[in-house]
Amino acid sequence: MSVSSTQVIPESTDVPRHVVIIMDGNGRWATRRFLPRTAGHVRGVQAVRRVLEGCGRKGVKYLTLFAFSSENWRRPQEEVSLLMRLFVQTLEKEVGKLDEQGVRLRVVGDLSAFEPKLQGLIKAAEQRTCANDRLHLTIAANYGGRWDILQATRHLLRDRPDLAQNPDAITESMLSDRLSMAWAPEPDLFIRTGGEQRVSNFLIWQLAYTEMYFTPTFWPDFDAASLEAAFTWYASRERRFGRTSEQLEKSN
């Protein structure tokens, strides 16, 4: 990770550099309209486009969206299949546009669980957009924060078996450099739609000092104005990273 909020005090800016979103409430949005839950997921894709454009206009550099958690396999099989199909269709349809707009797309999570066609599409989309730098869009799919910490630990011990005999030599950055989003700065702003106020095993390591914004708005209804409200709230936060307000006032 570029700067660790627990090792160095990061610079605060009014516009968040990295926004992460739990896109929740698709099922309830649909149920309220007497539609199948899956209709909410289909509608949710439009909100992704709106939010991506809103972040682009605002100058957000990294946008990370939670699309499917490592626990979402527990859902009814038809819903899981629809989500996978939607993922494939969206990739097929949108990657060209993303590339034209200078978006670099990455997918993080345990991708080995996906069918080969989806894995191939993901790889192709990542390769096609790998030179882009205007906005880094990351989709977390079959992602779990605990999985991420575990896979980083396994990588570390594979790379440095000597550390097993010398655990005191393990540093924070040895682990954070091996997390699946090691290339991105820590999230500044976390948004969860749909009214629940929990992290649901999203980026648990990386959220150490992230500002947490919760809104009852269901994801398919989340629009440019909803995003702007989150940005306004963020700009009003005092990010202290352990210090006192008085210290901050003096340094400004």
Q: Which residues bind Mg ion (CB under 5 A)?
A: 24
> Minimal distance in Å, beta carbon 195 to ligand IPE?
9
**Closer residue to ligand IPE, CB minimum distance, 54 or 144:** 144
Asked if 18 and 62 count as a contact pair (C-beta separation under 8 A), the reply is yes
| Region from 4-12, 19-27, 108-116, 128-136 binding ligand IPE, contact rule CB under 6 A | 19-27
The structure tokens listed for 56 are 């682009």
Using CB under 6 A as the binding rule, whether residue 67 contacts ligand IPE is answered as yes
Secondary structure of 9-67 in HEC code, one letter for each residue: CCCCCCCCCEEEEECCCHHHHHHHCCCCHHHHHHHHHHHHHHHHHHHHHHCCCEEEEEE
Interface residue with ligand IPE, options 12, 72, 132, 151 (CB under 6 A): 72
Residue whose C-beta lies closest to Mg ion: 24
Does the footprint of ligand IPE cover residue 187 (CB under 6 A)? no
CB of 23 to ligand IPE, least distance (A): 5
Question: Is 90 among the residues that bind ligand IPE (CB under 6 A)?
Answer: no
Q: Are 68 and 83 in contact (CB under 8 A)?
A: yes
Of the candidates 76, 63, 99, the residue with the CA atom closest to the CA atom of residue 231: 63
Question: Measured between alpha carbons, how far is 238 from 123 in angstroms, rounded to an integer?
Answer: 39
Q: Please give the residue ranges that form the binding site for ligand IPE (CB under 6 A).
A: 22-28, 66-69, 72, 83, 194, 196, 198, 200
Residues annotated catalytic, as ranges: 24, 72
